A and B are shown apart, each in its own frame.
Chain A
Amino acid sequence: MSNAAIVDHNVPPGEPPIIHHMDSHTAYGAAKLGMWLFLATEVLLFAVMFCSFAIMRYYHLAEFHDASHHLNLWAGALNTAILLFSSYTAAVAVTKAQQGDNAAVVKNFGISVFCGFLFLIVKTYEYTGKAHHGMFPFVWNSNFYEYKNFLGIYYCMTGLHALHVIIGMIVMTIYGIIPATKNRFSGKYYTPVELGALYWHLVDLIWIYLFPLLYLVG
């Protein structure tokens, strides 16, 4: 890269000029590449869990089969639909940001964040139902200790996924919705919207695999 800095004097009066390290096209490509690298590490984080799911299912096939029937299929299906729809609105938000429609970014990312809340409400409903029946993987409080392997991996995977839902909601709010209310995005600058949406799509992507594996085939 050339060492010629790009000096942006297009700043409010009295403020120093902004010095960019690269032109905006290069910066955009670098930011997106970095985001995808981060997403790759996220996939690997879940890959470890999918791998342990696979090997535990191999050893405890009957247990996994029986235990998965105790999960609430319709809650899982509803959450799948919620996440797919929220992923759709996140994708639409990127198109709207590219078209400079900041109000639509607020609306679409707002729907995605709202869907994140809905997802967590359904998940909480499921968890409390399981807690009520004593479906824990621990020996001291479980009424279903014979399902300990399945329940252990179920709580680990859905718990880590729920954490990602929460992080995604925060990311979309801070880097998408709040700047959009200040009309920050245009066809020339929408990187935060695109990267935030990418993260939310990853959350959706993980759930696409979690739902059939945990709820349907066990």
Chain B
Amino acid sequence: MSHAHSHSTSHGHSASHSSHHSEEGHVVPVSTFTKVLVALLFLTVITVAAAQVDLGKWNIVGALVIASVKASLVILVFMHGKYENKILWTYIVLPFILLAIMIGGVFTDDPFRDRISHFQVEKK
């Protein structure tokens, strides 16, 4: 909005006014992406290796933790998340909160359905 006064002109040279408003996104050097790619491939190898060892229920916990580290790397660096503002971060975080609520809701409900029906039978 603060830029509006410089564009309120409809003269022929207004195009040159807007041209010095570049898109101002952060330019990430390719070398940063290369480091992240190496880290991602390394973490994939770790994931596959860890799955060969039987750790019981900790297998899936470990796999999800590594996957989340990889996902964070992709969001923060590949998708420029590190350089984004708070409004955009709301959109990044919100679906994961909703997913947690949905999984939390299903797991605190469905596995206990039989108890509810027992309760109703006992009441009769």
Contact = CB atoms under 8 A, between A and B. Distances in A.
Interface string B21-40: 11111011110011011001
Interface string A32-75: 11001101110110011011001100100000000000000100
Contact of A2 (B4, B21, B51): B4
Interface in B68-96: 70-71, 74-75, 77-80, 87-88, 91-92, 94-96
A88 interface: yes
B74 A205 contact: yes
Interface stretch (A23-31, A115-123, A152-160): A23-31
Category for how many chain B residues contact A? 35 or more
A95 B91 CA distance: 23
A41 B98 CA distance: 11
Q: How large is the interface on A (under 10, 10 to 19, 20 to 34, 35 or more residues)?
A: 35 or more
Contacts of A217: 51, 59-60, 63
Contacts, number: 169
A55 B105 CA distance: 11
B111 to A, nearest CB: 7
User: Would you call the interface of chain A mostly helix, strand, loop, or mixed?
Assistant: helix
A12 to B, nearest CB: 13
Given A84-B44, A95-B30, A44 B98 contact: yes
A20 interface: yes
Interface in A166-198: 187-191, 194, 197-198
A111 interface: no
Contact of B15 (A8, A25, A39, A189): A8
A36 B93 CA distance: 11
A216 B1 CA distance: 52
Interface stretch (A130-138, A141-149, A206-214): A206-214
A201 B99 contact: no
B106 A54 contact: yes
18 contacts: A9-B15, A23-B18, A25-B24, A40-B94, A43-B96, A43-B99, A44-B99, A50-B103, A54-B106, A77-B48, A84-B40, A84-B44, A88-B78, A94-B28, A95-B29, A205-B74, A213-B64, A216-B47
Given A23-B7, A84-B37, 10 more contacts: A9-B14, A25-B22, A55-B110, A94-B80, A95-B29, A189-B23, A191-B23, A198-B79, A211-B47, A212-B64
